[in-house]
Amino acid sequence: MNGLDILVGGKSPKGQSGSQVSISGRQILIVDDFSDMRIAVRRMLRDLGEENADMAGNGKDAIDKIQHNSYDIVLCDYNLGDGKDGHQILEEAHHMGFIKPSCIFIMITAETSRHHVLGAIECQPDDYIAKPFTKELLQHRLVKAVKKKDALMDIYEAMFAKRFADAIKIAEHKLASKSRYTLDIAKLLGSFYLRTEQYDQALAFFQKILNQNYMPWAKFGLGQAYYYLGKYADAIVLFDELTDECEYFMEAYDWSAKCNLALDKKIEAQERLAMAAKISPKTISRQCELGELAKENGELDIAGSAYRAAIQFGAHSCFKSSKEYLGMNDVLLERGDTLKALSNLKEARDQLKEDPADLLQVVTATVDVHAGKGGTVEANKFLEQAEKIYQENTDAIPDEASLKLAATALKLDDVKFGTAIVNNLAESNHDDEALLNKLKAVVSDTGHADELSEIISKSTETLRALNKKGIQLAESGKLKESLELLEAASEKAPNSKAFNLNTALACIMLMKQDGANDQLLFKARHYLDRVTKMGKADKRHAELSKMLEALKK
């Protein structure tokens, strides 16, 4: 067999030059839940001269392998039984930064028609191959994908490094001369305009394309530009047209719902989500969103069945969360069915025992349900469990969950525990007025309003002063002292966005002054990552990340 000749040629220059061996040594991963199929694909690859193929039988295994190996090619079946689907794997692997720009990701599907999710532009497979396929077809597609990757490599590199300004420059330059990849480049460029918030530019770009030829992706892009420019009604028209034209255009339903929500049309938004959920019921986040909306709209039956679907499909996947169980809990309580509510929460505790943040929220809800029906003993038993989870995992608990737990503990008159939570929350969020207001509201409902308010203001003031001092030190050029102080404060209030970001900034400023070094690079990354993990990454976080990347060069 002659191997994927062109793949050898397509390799980066540091590949084994000189020795033109027939095996090009590409690292390949085959993902399929069907073991015979994995072996069949591996045999094909061997026939094509590719010997290095790993195999994964489910989503978790696939993500694991992708994380620990730098694959050149991933061949992934779209339908993976009850677990994740191929698109979720690609998204997750991408999200975690496990996929390198040169990696070729090919989705293997059962049908030729492409009613697949589109998702973010970075999370799109390089090609789709319909089953069954011959090795000749596989070879043809791989060669084609390699050629395209090579031709657009500089764009992908900039995109993966989130250097969108560079990506735009390269794409605009490439677009000036016609090539086989002109439309691929245009699609990327349009999404970059959106990503960099150049909405007027994006609007003009997509509109110009649509004036010349109809392409669904351009219409979708135009709809997004309208949304960001606040033209919700115009956007809705486009998204609804897209779903009329192709009922499998899942994102278009989601975007239409989003636009309707922006106009406070909750019924219409619910309808769009319901249509999408009917066609693609396995997307748990959408089912939860539908449940939430239906609940708000007073449609308990619809809410209940949405949450039920989310629970059912989430049970075997890594996408399960407390959200669907808590939503179901609300529905059941509203119907007055306390017994069912308790058994739902019991199932939730079983399902979510691995994740402290989710588990804590479910346990808190359990305390509330027991307390609500007068079961003080049971309520206190679960509150104890909640306290244990909280103490052991304080850093991993989202603020909203802590707030609820604080309210629950104070209601049951566990003042010591309640106070501890309030204090932690105040320290971590001294910079977040909105959350502090919520915290004050929680406290004011209890019998200890005055003492607790006092604690809140004391904690926030102390930390604010500390933060201010750190900034002053930095401004007066005492960067090392500033970093020391901020770092200590970050450790005291590890969930404080302000401290973590300021500590990262201090590291960056110090490196700007004295030059980059590994220790500070690592430290800055650590504090930025903390903020990402808390789900609090914002514009400032993005700016700091960019500054940090620039220092690495």
Which of the ranges 48-56, 63-71, 245-253, 388-396 carries the binding residues for another protein, by CB under 8 A? 245-253
Work out how close the CB of 92 gets to another protein at its nearest, in angstroms, rounded to a whole number: 24
C-alpha neighbours within 13 Å on the C-beta side of residue 500: 25
Q: Does 212 bind another protein (CB under 8 A)?
A: yes
Which of the ranges 204-212, 269-277, 373-381, 489-497 carries the binding residues for another protein, by CB under 8 A? 204-212
Cβ pair 82, 317 in contact under 8 A: yes
Which of the ranges 205-213, 308-316, 375-383, 393-401 carries the binding residues for another protein, by CB under 8 A? 205-213
Q: Which helix (H) or strand (E) holds 105?
A: strand 104-109
Distances 524 to 31, 325, 467, 482, 537 between C-alpha atoms, Å? 36, 37, 17, 14, 14
Work out how close the CB of 81 gets to another protein at its nearest, in angstroms, rounded to a whole number: 12
Give the Cα separation of 185 and 222 in Å (integer).
16
Work out how close the CB of 245 gets to another protein at its nearest, in angstroms, rounded to a whole number: 6
Work out how close the CB of 309 gets to another protein at its nearest, in angstroms, rounded to a whole number: 16
Residues contacting another protein: total by CB under 8 A: 43
Dihedral sign computed on CA atoms, order 114, 198, 268, 319: positive
Cβ pair 276, 253 in contact under 8 A: yes
Nearest one of 362, 384, 440, 431 to 407, comparing CA atoms: 440
Q: Does 180 bind another protein (CB under 8 A)?
A: yes
Q: Residue ranges of the alpha helices (H) in 79-215?
A: 86-95, 135-160, 164-175, 182-195, 199-212
> Residue 50 gets which letter from DSSP?
-
Work out how close the CB of 31 gets to another protein at its nearest, in angstroms, rounded to a whole number: 15
∠ Cα 142 146 150 (to 5°): 175
* Residues constituting the chain: 553
Helices (H) and strands (E) in the chain, counts: 26, 5
Work out how close the CB of 140 gets to another protein at its nearest, in angstroms, rounded to a whole number: 4
Work out how close the CB of 142 gets to another protein at its nearest, in angstroms, rounded to a whole number: 11
Name the residue nearer to another protein (CB basis): 141 or 536: 141
One of 21, 96, 110, 161 touching another protein (CB under 8 A): 110
Distances 394 to 330, 364, 379, 428 between C-alpha atoms, Å? 25, 15, 21, 11
Cβ pair 106, 68 in contact under 8 A: no
Name the residue nearer to another protein (CB basis): 209 or 397: 209
Q: Does 271 bind another protein (CB under 8 A)?
A: no
One of 6, 22, 27, 40 touching another protein (CB under 8 A): 40
Give the Cα separation of 109 and 106 in Å (integer).
10
Give the Cα separation of 56 and 71 in Å (integer).
13
| Residue 79 falls in which region: left (phi positive, over 0), alpha (psi -120 to 50) or beta | beta
One of 9, 21, 82, 114 touching another protein (CB under 8 A): 114
Q: Does 478 bind another protein (CB under 8 A)?
A: no
Q: Does 209 bind another protein (CB under 8 A)?
A: yes
Cβ pair 426, 406 in contact under 8 A: no
Positions 41 through 70 that interact with another protein (CB under 8 A): 43-44, 47
Positions 435 through 464 that interact with another protein (CB under 8 A): none
Which of the ranges 176-184, 312-320, 323-331, 489-497 carries the binding residues for another protein, by CB under 8 A? 176-184
Which of the ranges 2-10, 212-220, 468-476, 545-553 carries the binding residues for another protein, by CB under 8 A? 212-220
One of 9, 82, 100, 136 touching another protein (CB under 8 A): 136
Work out how close the CB of 442 gets to another protein at its nearest, in angstroms, rounded to a whole number: 47
Cβ-in-10-Å burial (0-12, 13-18, 19+) of 268 comes to: middle
Name the residue nearer to another protein (CB basis): 176 or 434: 176
Q: Does 141 bind another protein (CB under 8 A)?
A: yes
Q: Does 2 bind another protein (CB under 8 A)?
A: no
Name the residue nearer to another protein (CB basis): 175 or 357: 175
Cβ pair 368, 333 in contact under 8 A: no
Work out how close the CB of 37 gets to another protein at its nearest, in angstroms, rounded to a whole number: 6
Work out how close the CB of 246 gets to another protein at its nearest, in angstroms, rounded to a whole number: 4
Which of the ranges 34-42, 351-359, 411-419, 442-450 carries the binding residues for another protein, by CB under 8 A? 34-42
Chain residues that interact with another protein, rule: CB under 8 A: 34, 36-37, 39-40, 43-44, 47, 79, 110-114, 130-137, 139-141, 144, 175, 178, 180, 182-183, 186, 189, 205, 208-209, 212-213, 215, 245-248
